[in-house]
Amino acid sequence: MNNKEYEVLVKKSKEISLKWRTLPAPQRGELIRLFGEELRLQKVQLAQTITKEARKIHTESLGEVQEAIDMCDFAVGLSRQLYGLTMPSERPNHRLQELWHPLGVVGCITAFNFPMAVFAWNFCLAAVCGNSIIWKPSPHANQCAKGIKKAWDKVSGDFADLILVLEGGNEEAVLICKDKRIALVSATGSTQMGKELAPMVSARLGKLLLELGGNNAAIVCPSADLDLTIKGIAFSACGTTGQRCTSLRRLFVHEDIYDDCVKRLRNCFDDLIIGCPTKEGSQIGPLISEESYNRMQEILDSLKSKGVDVIGGERINIEDPKEFYVKPALVLVDTIEDEMLKETFAPILYVKKYLDLKDAIFMQNNVSQGLSSSIFTNDMRESELFLSESGSDCGIANVNIGTSGAEIGGAFGGEKDTGGGRESGSDAWKNYMRRVTATINYGDELPLAQGVEFDES
Ligand code: UN1
């Protein structure tokens, strides 16, 4: 997009935001409700677009559209709950109150792996809070963005411009980040991307909401229900071909159950059905690109060259030269290898034995990322330790479920190199508004706070 076209886009977005913000929030919610209805009608069709572009299997694509629908429902509820607190004033006949107002234009940069749901997290909250949005989707997912935009255009009447799509790559992301008129930039992607973009937004003191890389771990304790555990691990590590920010990458297994657990995992990984995502029964589709495949192989080669035990990871179904199908890799390590500290966006699961739960928690936390984590145990002392302040340092901590597949009702995001942002549920809406503290004097005197005296006579 050239500069002139970009200018037109931002001006349109600004203009519509000024109209939209004057609409009472419940009326904004009503349009979002209609949008949710439209998504329901188009659910299968939209899922097919996701499968076509992002190569997700059909059930996961349906799940992703459902996540967008859930966000609409959540935002409709919120439209009557954008509460501000009223605090007791220390002065007589005074009220102290918090007001929440829209920010204006929100910039949203999304990744290929959740081309609709992550946009919905941002859009539904931004919109119900009274903002417009400029959306830069991943270049791998422009059709998904078109599908969503079309659904919005159909129901939004005069407010079609509330979603404006800016197709492109890094250059377009930079335009958004440097633009002072864009009050908040919400970006999902790698930690490296976040570190490049964040200084541009910070330099103009703009607001940032980052959802960056994860390097998620699970701990399997001796009391774990192994049937449930293996299922949870398989979905988290191999689902979406290991290309979720919440994908399970590291597993710490207690030595008492290590052999049994590894044996079961090997069998389970062998049984997974890898194939065309449109084909009924496929559980793992291809990686998004050849680069992604090459990165996976580089990591596995480097591990193999050090004599580390790598099971699987090879390319399969090579009769289709444009698609990169891989067997998920199980990597059995004795010590923490450097490769484990990086996020590789592919189905690689490192497995390490542990003796003491505190060590396992330490190893789990001892990476630069802090998104998601799990413990599999039936011992409440272990699960409570894991959830305590001395436990997992991640934004998401689960018990007896895998690291991926969060519901929209909770706040989503993580600490450290994951960027610190929280999106979707709980009170994440506050990120999309500005807070005004208002003090109202309804008396006929002017007492000053903190007992200060100022007599002008
Ligand atoms: C992502 O991979 O960027 O919790 C988002 C999950 C999904 C969202 C993942 N609901 O796995």
What does the pLDDT read at residue 298?
98
What does the pLDDT read at residue 1?
78
CA distance 151 to 35: 7
What does the pLDDT read at residue 317?
83
Residue 225 C-alpha to ligand 1 middle, in angstroms?
25
Q: Does residue 245 carry a catalytic annotation?
A: yes
Instruction: List all residues whose CB is within 6 A of at least one atom of ligand 1.
Output: 67, 113-114, 118, 188, 244-246, 404-406
The whole model's pTM is what? 0.96
pLDDT of residue 219 exceeding 80, the answer is: yes
Give 226-254 pLDDT, tens digit per residue. Answer: 999 999 999 999 999 999 999 999 999 99
More confident residue, 432 or 2: 432
| CATH number, span 216-399 | 3.40.309.10
CB atoms within 10 A of CB 358: 12
User: H/E element holding 311?
Assistant: strand 309-311
CA distance 98 to 437: 5
Q: Does residue 384 carry a catalytic annotation?
A: no
What does the pLDDT read at residue 320?
82
Residue 419 C-alpha to ligand 1 middle, in angstroms?
15
The mean pLDDT value of the chain amounts to 97
pLDDT of residue 210 exceeding 90, the answer is: yes
Rg (CA), the chain: 24
Q: What is the DSSP string of 75-112?
A: HHHHTT-----EE--SSTTEEEEEEEEE-SEEEEE--S
Shortest-distance atom of ligand 1 to CA 245: 2
Identify the band that residue 6 occupies on the pLDDT scale cut at 50, 70 and 90.
very high
CA distance 383 to 373: 12
Give 267-322 pLDDT, tens digit per residue. Answer: 999 999 999 999 999 999 999 999 999 999 999 999 999 999 999 999 998 778 89
Share of the chain above pLDDT 90, in %: 98
Instruction: Give the Å distances, CA to CA, from 189 to 52, 115, 118, 227.
Output: 21, 11, 11, 33
The pairing of strands 423-424 and 411-412 is antiparallel
What does the pLDDT read at residue 319?
76
Tokens of 241: 């071909």
Give 361-417 pLDDT, tens digit per residue. Answer: 999 999 999 999 999 999 999 999 999 999 999 999 999 999 999 999 999 999 999
What does the pLDDT read at residue 441?
98
The protein residue with its alpha carbon nearest to ligand 1, atom 6, reads 405
The pairing of strands 348-354 and 248-254 is parallel
Tokens of 98: 């918090």
Domain boundaries, the chain: 3-212+419-438, 216-399
Identify the band that residue 2 occupies on the pLDDT scale cut at 50, 70 and 90.
confident
Residue 8 C-alpha to ligand 1 middle, in angstroms?
33
Give 39-74 pLDDT, tens digit per residue. Answer: 999 999 999 999 999 999 999 999 999 999 999 999
What does the pLDDT read at residue 134?
98
Residue 348 C-alpha to ligand 1 middle, in angstroms?
17
What does the pLDDT read at residue 457?
77
What kind of architecture, by CATH, is found in domain 3-212+419-438?
Answer: 3-Layer(aba) Sandwich (3.40)
Q: Who's near 90: CB < 8 A, 6+ residues apart?
A: 449
Residues 64, 67, 211, 323: which is the catalytic one? 211
Contact 32, 128 (CB under 8 A): yes
